[in-house]
Amino acid sequence: MSLLEMKGIQKSFYGNQVLRDVDFTLEAGTVHALMGENGAGKSTLMNILDGIHKRDGGTIRIDGQEVEINSPSEAQEKGIAMIHQELTTIPEMSVAENIYLGREPVKRGFIDYKKMYQDTSELLKMLNIELNPRIKMGKLRVADQQLVEIAKAVSQNARIVVMDEPTSSITDREVENLFGIIRDLKLRGTGIIYISHKMDEVYTITDEITVLRDGESINTWKTAEVTNDMVIKAMVGRELKEQFPKIEVPIGEKLLELKNLTIQGQFENISFDVHAGEILGLVGLVGAGRTETMQALFGITKPESGEIFLKGKPVTFSKPADAIAAKIAYVTEDRKGEGLVLPMSIAHNITLPSLRELSSKIFIRKGEEKDAVQKEMTGLKVKAASVKLPVKMLSGGNQQKVVLAKWMLKEPDIIIFDEPTRGIDVGAKAEIYKLMGEFVSQGKAIIMISSEMPEAMGMSDRIIVLSNHQMGGELRREEFSQKAIMAMAMSHM
Amino acid sequence: MSNQSSGQVSSAQKKQAMKNMVSKYGSLAALFLMIVVMTAIKPRFINPTNLRNILRLASINGLLAIGMTFVCLTGGIDLSVGAVMGCAGMYSAYFAQEVMNLPWFVGVAVGLAMGLAIGLFNGICVAYLKVPAFVGTLGSMSIAKGLTFILTNAKPIPKLSASFKYLGGGMIGGFLPIPIIIFGVILFICFLLLYNTRYGRYVFAVGGNQKAARVSGINVKIVTASVYLLSGFLAALAGIIMTARVTSGVTSTGDGYETDAIAMVVIGGTSLAGGKGRLWGTIVGILLMVCLSNGLDMLGVNAYIQMIVKGFVVIAAVMLDGLSSD
């Protein structure tokens, strides 16, 4: 008998059928990867399991018993715990308070803090998590907050734990730690549903893989019996020829140069240049100062010292509008936080930075705006029923394309890509890479921050490595190797 | 199986479509229903004179609600509008007294200047000094009240010049009241502003996601500050018209109008969280609230009970919106 059996699950939103007859089975004591492109229906399926969405059809069985789950709290009662990609902890409360939120131990009508902290200590110890139960959640790093959520799940005796891209914002060492804890949970007989786009992780930690595509379950395999290509083919529905379609582009004049750019404690004495036709990779460990450097370049923060030269002329950007006016664009890492206005329509998001060009003295020229939007939608192959839909209705990959569309319309000379393909499926990734190639072949330049080594090495012409807020080194394409990059990334630790 | 599933899909579709309808047109339907019911009970509800009264009432309240819509779209709130009405009303009345013998526009200019000043103050507080809108405008509400009382030590200002009074009581062609015309013009301009200019787009963007707006090159502070300026200006205009209409400056002008304005905006489907809303919805909200009080008056319902009814209507409207967007 399986721990969890979801059978023939169906769901539609606004008349869009997003799940059709999806089957998914989880055995106790195993880790089961749930894979698929963005918009394939993974999140919807999990939200149905968690009682957030109501299914239109199908059955859910736990230990062979048919169950109805109407809310997250009912899911919790049935031993289901969700660890969302965007963590749902309360920053102002302590670790222990977060773990026992809503079920605090009570003595004579008051919260028994002593017991709460004691229990938390024991729990964390049991899981080999070294954290102070009294520290405020907001003070912890993302990786540690995630561990607290796992501890919470364990303390609720969760038997089914869903992890949605748990490694998307943590370092390699933290990933190891997380995997240790996952193996521990397996031994206790917990079933874990592991949602991830990262192949290497899926091969390391999971026992089975189920692939969804366009709301249907395509196949389920034992992880040991399936190849990378088979999984990708199942996800995309076709074979991807090249993972990194690098185009050879002649490198031209120097477009941008940073000299000794510094904000103490964030990045210090950062110097490099970017040439026309070039994709410059900016790599380093999480926290090395890559994003901070780019934010200063784009005028989001003010550098304390150092200079920026644009085509040889010194410039200062005191706000993003200045950088945009100098034909620089910034595709931020956090597309929901900084890239998009979620309640706004797709069309209005795309034209937001370009309204000045699309307006007469007073009014927006709506016809022209519509044409511009249509051009970018086609160029980037954004999949949407209507450009009037709020952008938040799109899947991650399509949202990222909207961010790109918005900047492409602005016709910049230099684009800063901060983790351009994070949380995006393989199909959309390939399209974005292709687009990057086309962009630089017009004599323009890209600075790409990437934490994915294969991506950085596959796409860049040159790589700048930052290490602990400082310059770690520079590598030309023929010098690229994981080993060389890691050595530079660690050089100032 | 496939038959059954397609049946389920279409019923789910219907349900969702239904919810969208309720969310979008619920208030409009409620307004329509109310007009029908009121007409059935009291046929004189829809005779032209009464409709004109309703519109005249709506035009003063409506100015506040339009300004409030802009403020709410940026995710803010302006609690000072009622007090600004009173303040602008008193200062304009002071300079429109018969004995001063000044042209009508002097009083109007002084009143509008008061509104702009308080609006600017609000805008600076919220956008540049990072005071939460609720607190900042609560403070300026008290400041505006104080300024109102100081002027005449809370005594009313009677005997206003005829040309000034004409702003509130005058009619064009003997039928169309001036306040309604002013409201119509302002409404038209604000529609264009919100939906056909960059500025309007920026208001939505700032309310929807400040950070993304800034990264897109929008000057978030100026946009944020500007909506309070607009709100202050429109509140002052409402106060001036109201004063001209009641033909004397009274310190209690505009008392409690801020809650009505917020109610109208919210009934119209604009989210107090910002970034989401519609101006025509506010128009429905304005008419709904005004028809409600006019209708209840006509039915002889006592004013205190009316307050209770209004309270429930506002809550019900927002509840329906919340349920349907679930």
Is A244 domain-assigned?
no
Residue B51 in tokens: 């409709």
Nearest CA distance, A44 vs chain B (angstrom): 15
Instruction: Work out the end-to-end distance of chain A between its first and last CA atoms, rounded to an integer number of angstroms.
Output: 51
pLDDT at A241 (0 to 100): 56
User: Would you call B17 an interface residue with chain A, using a CB distance cutoff of 8 Å?
Assistant: yes
Per CB-CB distance under 8 Å, the chain B contacts of A366 are 196
* pLDDT per residue as tens digits for the range B265-280: 999 989 888 898 999 9
- pLDDT tens digits for B56-95? 999 999 999 999 999 999 999 999 999 999 999 999 999 9
Q: What distance in Å separates the CA atoms of residue A441 and residue A443, rounded to the nearest whole number?
A: 5
- By residue range, what is the domain housing residue A205? 4-236
Same domain, A97 and A227: yes
Q: What is the CATH number of the domain that holds A9?
A: 3.40.50.300
Note whether A167 and A261 are same-domain residues. Answer: no
Which chain A residues contact residue B211 at CB under 8 A? 337-338
Same domain flag for A341 and A418: yes
β-pair partners for A160: A80, A191
CA angle centred on A134, ends A128 and A136, rounded to 5° = 100
Domain co-membership, A369 together with A485: yes
Does the structure show a pLDDT above 50 at B170? yes
Here the ipTM equals: 0.85
Confidence band, pLDDT 50/70/90 cuts, at residue B9 = very low
User: Which of residues A183, A208, A236 is at a domain's end?
Assistant: A236
Order of strands across the sheet that contains A65-66: A16-26, A4-13, A57-62, A65-66
In terms of CA atoms, which chain B residue is nearest residue A323? Answer: B217
Residue A133 shares a structural domain with residue A190? yes
**Are B215 and A320 a contacting pair at CB < 8 A?**
yes
Best of A344, A345, A393, A406 to substitute, by most chain B Cβ atoms within 10 angstroms, is: A344
How far is Cα A143 from Cα A123, in angstroms, rounded to an integer?
18
Instruction: Flag whether A417 is in a domain.
Output: yes
Interface touch A343/B208, C-beta < 8 Å: yes
Separation CA A15–CA B10 (nearest Å): 7
Residue A55 and residue A86 in one domain = yes
Assess whether A187 and A306 both reside in one domain: no
Final residue belonging to a domain, choices A236, A266, A301: A236
Domain co-membership, A203 together with A340: no
The tens digit of pLDDT for each residue in B13-46 reads 566 566 666 667 788 888 999 899 999 999 988 8
Confidence bin at B2 (pLDDT 50/70/90): very low
The sign of the dihedral angle between the CA atoms of B286, B287, B293, B294 is positive
What distance in Å separates residue A97's CA from the closest CA in chain B?
28
Size of interface A-B (CB pairs under 8 A): 97
Structural tokens at position A331:
């595709």
Neighbour-count burial of A66, counting CB atoms closer than 10 A to its CB (0-12 exposed, 13-18 middle, 19+ buried): exposed
Phi/psi at A35 (nearest 5 deg)? -125, 160
Spatial CA neighbour of A467 closest among A270, A173, A174 = A270
CB A94, CB A153: distance < 8 Å: no
Q: Could you tell me the residue ranges of all domains in chain B?
A: 58-255+270-278
The pLDDT-based confidence of B6 (bands split at 50, 70, 90) is very low
Q: What is each CA distance from B90 to A266, B147, B164, B169, B246, in whole angstroms?
A: 55, 9, 13, 17, 12
A282 and A415 belong to one structural domain = yes
Q: Which of residues 36-95 of B touch A (CB under 8 A)?
A: none
Question: What does the pLDDT read at residue A116?
Answer: 92
Given A203, A236, A269, the domain boundary residue is A236
Query: Looking at the complex, does the CB of residue B3 fall below 8 Å from at least one CB of chain A?
Result: no
pLDDT of residue B8: 42
Asked if residue A338 and residue A280 are part of one domain, the reply reads yes
Q: Report the C-alpha gap between A469 and A452 in whole angstroms.
A: 19
pLDDT tier at B7, thresholds 50, 70, 90? very low
Q: How close B195 gets to chain A, by Cα (Å)?
A: 9
- The tokens describing B44, both together, are 């004189």
Is the sign of the CA dihedral A342, A343, A346, A351 positive or negative?
A: negative
- Is A454 domain-assigned? yes
Q: Is residue A154 part of a domain?
A: yes
> What is the sign of the dihedral through the CA atoms of A479, A481, A487 and A488?
positive
In a domain, A246, yes or no: no
A159: number of Cβ within 10 Å: 23
Q: Using CA atoms, how far apart are residues B36 and B89, in angstroms rounded to an integer?
A: 36
Q: Are residues A220 and A259 in the same domain?
A: no
The domain tally of chain A equals: 2
Residues of chain A scoring pLDDT < 50: none
* A317 and A445 both lie in a single domain: yes
Kindly tell me if the per-residue pLDDT of B1 is higher than 50.
no
| Residue A296 distance to chain B (closest CA, Å) | 12
Q: What is the mean pLDDT of chain B?
A: 89
**Does residue A39 lie in a domain region?**
yes
Please give the residue of chain A at the shortest CA–CA distance from B13: A15
pLDDT, residue B280, reads 93
Q: Are B85 and B64 in contact (CB under 8 A)?
A: yes
